[in-house]
Amino acid sequence: AQTVTQSQPEMSVQEAETVTLSCTYDTSESDYYLFWYKQPPSRQMILVIRQEAYKQQNATENRFSVNFQKAAKSFSLKISDSQLGDAAMYFCAYKGPQGGSEKLVFGKGTKLTVNP
């Protein structure tokens, strides 16, 4: 079964600085999808960024970027110029190949604190 591991239960960053959240996963598939979701205290799950395994180029969305290392099964999230509104739980998630299970498998999450 696929598993997703987030080894950092909590992280903190100073406003305007950069922080990297770690995620590793285990799968025997070659085609799959990876996501980072943000959950602020409002509990709404918000999609931050997505990465297709077949793409070598790392995904970027404004201040958010990923470092996708397929061979190492690593998928870290970098937040640049951190803002107070970035404070939230961040969950890494995995989905298997197109046409297979639609299930998202989530890591346990990393709580990010942004200090002013």
Partner 1 sequence: SAVISQKPSRDICQRGTSLTIQCQVDSQVTMMFWYRQQPGQSLTLIATANQGSEATYESGFVIDKFPISRPNLTFSTLTVSNMSPEDSSIYLCSISGGGNEQFFGPGTRLTVL
Residues that bind partner 1 (CB under 8 A): 33, 35, 37, 42-47, 50, 52, 91, 95, 98, 102-104, 106-109
Give whichever of 67 and 104 is closer to partner 1, judged by the CB atom: 104
Rounded to an integer, what distance in angstroms lies between the CA atom of residue 44 and that of residue 31? 28
Q: Nearest approach, Cβ of 33 to partner 1 (angstroms)?
A: 4
Give whichever of 25 and 35 is closer to partner 1, judged by the CB atom: 35
Give whichever of 87 and 109 is closer to partner 1, judged by the CB atom: 109
**Please, which residues bridge with residue 4 across strands?**
25
DSSP the chain: --EEE---SEEEEETTS-EEE--EEE-S-SS-EEEEEEE-TT---EEEEEEETT--SPPEETTEEEEEETTTTEEEEEE-S--GGG-EEEEEEEE--TTS----EE---EEEEEE-
Q: Nearest approach, Cβ of 97 to partner 1 (angstroms)?
A: 9
Give whichever of 14 and 55 is closer to partner 1, judged by the CB atom: 55
Q: Nearest approach, Cβ of 50 to partner 1 (angstroms)?
A: 5
Q: Nearest approach, Cβ of 16 to partner 1 (angstroms)?
A: 29
